[in-house]
Amino acid sequence: MSVHPNLSHRGRLWFEALTGTSSGPGSSDNSGDGVRDGTAGSVRVADAALGSEQARFIAVVPDVHNRFPRARGGEVGLDEACALAVCVRDTIAGDRDGARRAIVAIVDVPSQAYGWREELLGIHLACAAAADAYASARLAGHPVIALLVGKAMSGAFLAHGYQANRILALDSPEVMAHAMGRQAAARVTRRTVAELQVLGEKIAPMAYDIRSFARLGLLHRLIEDVNADAPGQGDIARVRAELLGAIADARAGATDLAARLTSPAARQLRAASIEVRRRLAEQWDGA
Amino acid sequence: MNGDALRDYRRFLARASFVEMAARERARAILDAGSYRELLGPFDRIKSPWLPMQGIVAQADDGVVLARGTLDGHPALVAAIESGYQGGSIGEVSGAKIAGALELALDDCRRGRPIWPVLLLETGGVRLQEANLGLAAIAEIHAAIIALRRLVPVVGVIAGAVGCFGGMSMSAALCSRLIVTRQARLGMNGPEVIEQEAGVAEVDASDRAGIFRLIGGEQRHAAGLADDLLEDDAAAIAVAVRAAFARGSPPLERSAQVGRLAERLASADPQRPPAADSLRRRWNEGAPS
């Protein structure tokens, strides 16, 4: 099995920075680092104070010892998606009779796991279970915030983050959102990576960079001027403040995803999404 | 030919193939005769704003047919994806049509006017030419199914021949009841994409029979990942859709059965993964009928 040369440590870095847990780089000692008994070591969960709030932080991180070979690089595989569903559902159950904790999904996921074992065992259902859990938390009144610190790709993002009330992202070149990785998208659309780059500059939804994504109106905030790879105390404090702002905004707003269509950016680049809904409502009940 | 075989043969000849129907015909075939009313049809000309910028002709319905009508007299909504246009891919407009219709159905259900939603899924997933807006729309489709499902069953049909992939395979898994044929395929990652990403040793996309053993409708049904396995017969599928609504919502939706999912995965050894047929035996125990 080849070692992934470009494993991203952003997810773990920000998880540890925001929760005060630590494991040290490459540590296989899982004590006290947010790994739950009986769930995948690649999913980290911890509760930590956030201002006056208590929040549950969840991250998917690379695990070179993952029992599924296609999920060793931080991908959302079968075990990861299942663990996400379990820990989010635990949060809902734990708060059933009390204040709804905020849930913060720290997103640095290069893709869902591609493999035949994954298909056989129904990775589509596992990812759906994760998305279902996050959406159910949102509907139950938990402010669900996605914090993009690295890649937010495709089915992995759908399973981990895309059901959030509010999406935040660090303004960094390594923070990306897309439906498919660059190389694969180039092969599938029979274009070169360079051609895709040029198209992305012209056509915002095809771009990979987070600034283009922000133009689509899907982000609550793009957090600028933060050192994403080596955050200092000031950087961490800024991100905490942004998380608190997003949580307050989510608590004050609806539990659906309608906020994604209301920003000035969305009114420009998602004009068709808005127009479809407007015309559909007109025709809904007939003449 | 004996009597039974002759009767089967005649039934086979008399049946209308659902797989061969285009999306509009499929929606008509599902709804009560005479009840079909299309929403945002081709004459409304709401097209993809993104495809013409890439030199691709945009179709006037963006490949999704929405129709209101009735099922056994009960108000219903059918969203049918046209696989003949851009592989049934989900772009900004086609995705917004599905999400927007489900959101309006949710509003009606909340006002005490339940509408039965049916999704005819035939899609490769996100339309890569509209990448992030397709993915965003799929997240909104997921959100709408999950919210709507609490009030009324959401019924999905995968007939084939394209099947249902990518983020939309998650939509299928979120349905309260999933109907498939033997021609259906259901998977997160299409075989071609896996082969490209992980190599031919992982999946040989040209091995058609092997792919069907892995993700075909019969296998998915036998492993408890789909609820009804039907012949390619429009009338039979229309009956099964009605029966699904008559049955009502399951006690716990498939995608909310997290304990069962965790148990099943814990019992699977990736070093010695089960063969497709042994998975059927192991997973089908206790599956919903």
pLDDT tens digits for range B191-213: 888 888 888 888 898 999 999 99
Most confidently predicted of B15-29, B200-214, B268-282: B15-29
Query: Is residue A92 located within the same domain as residue A45?
Result: yes
Q: Residue A30's pLDDT is what?
A: 43
Query: Is residue A244 located within the same domain as residue A191?
Result: yes
**Sign of torsion over alpha carbons A182, A187, A193, A195:** negative
Q: For residue A181, what pLDDT band results from cuts at 50, 70 and 90?
A: confident
Which of B61, B161, B35, B130 is closest to A286 using CA atoms? B35
pLDDT tens digits for range B137-185: 999 999 999 999 999 999 999 999 999 999 999 999 999 999 999 999 9
Query: Is residue A56 located within the same domain as residue A145?
Result: yes
Query: Is residue A176 located within the same domain as residue A283?
Result: no
Token pair listed for A104:
């913060």
What number of other Cβ atoms are within 10 A of residue B1's Cβ?
8
What number of other Cβ atoms are within 10 A of residue B57's Cβ?
9
Is A1 inside a domain boundary? no
Distance from CA of A10 to the nearest CA of B (A): 22
Chain A residue numbers with beta carbons less than 8 Å from the beta carbon of B37 are: 286
Q: Residue A166 pLDDT > 80, yes or no? A: yes
**Phi (first) and psi of residue B175, to 5 degrees:** -65, 145
Query: Is residue A266 located within the same domain as residue A221?
Result: no
- Give the whole-angstrom CA distance, residue B175 versus residue B117: 10
Contact B142 A260 (CB under 8 A): no
Query: How many domains are there within chain A?
Result: 2
Query: Is residue A145 located within the same domain as residue A281?
Result: no
Token pair listed for A11:
């997810």
- Give the whole-angstrom CA distance, residue A68 versus residue B17: 40
Q: Is B38 in contact with B83 (CB distance < 8 Å)?
A: no
Q: What value does the mean pLDDT take over residues A124-133?
A: 98
Q: What value does the mean pLDDT take over residues B219-229?
A: 96
Q: Residue B83 pLDDT > 50, yes or no? A: yes
Taking the whole predicted model, whether its pTM rises above 0.80 is answered as: yes
- Chosen for mutation from A43, A123, A132 (greatest number of chain B CBs closer than 10 Å) is A132
Is A264 inside a domain boundary? yes
- Comparing alpha-carbon positions, the chain A residue that sits nearest to B204 is A116
Q: Residue B57's pLDDT is what?
A: 92
The four Cα atoms A12, A27, A114, A168 give a dihedral, to 10 degrees, of 0
Q: For residue A241, what pLDDT band results from cuts at 50, 70 and 90?
A: very high
**Sign of torsion over alpha carbons A77, B222, B249, B118:** positive
Q: Residue B287 pLDDT > 60, yes or no? A: no
Token pair listed for A17:
């920075």
**Domain covering B14-284 assigned CATH 3.40.1190.20 in the classification:** no
Query: Is residue A72 located within the same domain as residue A209?
Result: yes
Q: Residue A38's pLDDT is what?
A: 60
Distance from CA of B145 to the nearest CA of A (A): 9
Task: Tell me, yes or no, if A91 comes closer than 8 A to chain B by beta carbon.
Answer: no
pLDDT tens digits for range A218-227: 999 999 999 9
Which of B128, B47, B152, B141 is closest to B101 using CA atoms? B141
Q: For residue A27, what pLDDT band results from cuts at 50, 70 and 90?
A: very low
The enclosing domain of A175 has a CATH number of: 3.90.226.10
Q: What value does the mean pLDDT take over residues A60-89?
A: 96
Is A177 inside a domain boundary? yes
Q: Give the A window 21-80 contacts with B, CB below 8 Å.
A: 38, 67-70, 78-79
Contact B196 A260 (CB under 8 A): no
Q: What value does the mean pLDDT take over residues A52-76?
A: 94
Q: Residue B289's pLDDT is what?
A: 43
Query: Is residue A34 located within the same domain as residue A63?
Result: yes
Could you give the maximum distance between any two Cα atoms of chain B, in Å? Answer: 61
Query: Could you say which of B132, B146, B173 has the minimum Cβ distance to residue A213?
Result: B132
pLDDT tens digits for range B26-62: 999 999 999 999 999 999 999 999 999 999 999 999 9
**More confident: B275 or B71:** B71
Burial class (CB in 10 A: 0-12, 13-18, 19+), A191: middle
Listed by start position, the domains of chain B span 14-284
Q: What value does the mean pLDDT take over residues A168-192?
A: 90
Q: Residue A269's pLDDT is what?
A: 97
Instruction: Please state which of the ranges A50-54, A208-212, B22-26, B236-240 shows the lowest mean pLDDT.
Output: A50-54
Residue A273: domain span: 259-287
Token pair listed for A53:
């709030």
Query: Is residue A248 located within the same domain as residue A266?
Result: no
Distance from CA of A244 to the nearest CA of B (A): 24
Which of A216, A208, A101 is closest to A167 using CA atoms? A216
ipTM of the modeled complex:
0.95
Q: What value does the mean pLDDT take over residues A133-158?
A: 98
Which of A153, A43, A28, A42 is closest to A90 using CA atoms? A43
Query: Is residue A200 located within the same domain as residue A279?
Result: no
- Give the whole-angstrom CA distance, residue A238 versus residue A224: 10
Query: Is residue A46 located within the same domain as residue A168?
Result: yes
Is A5 inside a domain boundary? no
Chain A residue numbers with beta carbons less than 8 Å from the beta carbon of B268 are: 78, 117, 121
**Sign of torsion over alpha carbons B25, B26, B29, B33:** negative
Question: How high is the mean pLDDT of chain B?
Answer: 93
Which of A151, A161, A80 is closest to A113 using CA atoms? A80
Residue A38: partners with Cβ closer than 8 Å, 6 or more residues away: B262
Strand partners, A58: A45, A105
Is A4 inside a domain boundary? no
- Secondary structure string (H, E, C) spanning chain B: CCHHHHHHHHHHHHCCCCCCCCHHHHHHHHCCCCCCEEECCHHHCCCCCCCHHHCCCCCCCCCEEEEEEEECCEEEEEEEECCCCHHHCECHHHHHHHHHHHHHHHHHHHCCCCCEEEEECCECCECHHHHHHHHHHHHHHHHHHHHHCCCCCCEEEECCCCCECCHHHHHHHHCCEEEEECCCEECCCCHHHHHHHHCCCCCCCCCHHHHHHHHEHHHHHHCCCCCEEECCCHHHHHHHHHHHHHHCCCCCCHHHCHHHHHHHHHCCCCCCCCCHHHHHHHHHCCCCC
Q: For residue A25, what pLDDT band results from cuts at 50, 70 and 90?
A: very low
Instruction: Please state which of the ranges A134-143, A160-169, B13-22, B150-159 shows the lowest mean pLDDT.
Output: B13-22
- Comparing alpha-carbon positions, the chain A residue that sits nearest to B103 is A277
Residue A221: partners with Cβ closer than 8 Å, 6 or more residues away: A168, A169, A242, A245, A246
Q: Residue A49 pLDDT > 60, yes or no? A: yes
Could you give the maximum distance between any two Cα atoms of chain A, in Å? Answer: 66
Q: For residue B274, what pLDDT band results from cuts at 50, 70 and 90?
A: confident
Q: Residue B1's pLDDT is what?
A: 57
Instruction: Please state which of the ranges A63-67, A208-212, B190-194 shows the lowest mean pLDDT.
Output: B190-194
Query: Could you say which of B66, B133, B257 has the minimum Cβ distance to residue A216?
Result: B133
Contact B133 A271 (CB under 8 A): no
Q: What value does the mean pLDDT take over residues A264-273?
A: 97
Query: Could you say which of B46, B135, B273 has the minimum Cβ distance to residue A279?
Result: B46
- Comparing alpha-carbon positions, the chain B residue that sits nearest to A90 is B258
Q: Residue A42 pLDDT > 60, yes or no? A: yes
Q: Residue B7's pLDDT is what?
A: 79
- Give the whole-angstrom CA distance, residue A138 versus residue A103: 9
Residue B126: partners with Cβ closer than 8 Å, 6 or more residues away: A154, A179, A180, B89, B90, B134, B135, B138, B166, B167
Which of B167, B189, B65, B191 is closest to B120 using CA atoms? B65
Q: Around A204, how many Cα atoms within 13 Å sit in the side-chain half-sphere? A: 17
Q: Residue A1's pLDDT is what?
A: 39
Give percent of chain B with pLDDT exceeding 90. Answer: 81
Contact A82 B261 (CB under 8 A): yes
Q: Residue A24 pLDDT > 70, yes or no? A: no
Query: Is residue A160 located within the same domain as residue A286?
Result: no
Q: Residue A193 pLDDT > 80, yes or no? A: yes
- Comparing alpha-carbon positions, the chain B residue that sits nearest to A68 is B270
Task: Tell me, yes or no, if A85 comes closer than 8 A to chain B by beta carbon.
Answer: yes
Q: Is A89 in contact with A133 (CB distance < 8 Å)?
A: yes
A-B contacts (CB, under 8 Å): 252
Q: Residue A2's pLDDT is what?
A: 41
What number of other Cβ atoms are within 10 A of residue A7's Cβ?
17
pLDDT tens digits for range B85-127: 999 999 999 999 999 999 999 999 999 999 999 999 999 999 9
Q: What value does the mean pLDDT take over residues B273-280?
A: 86
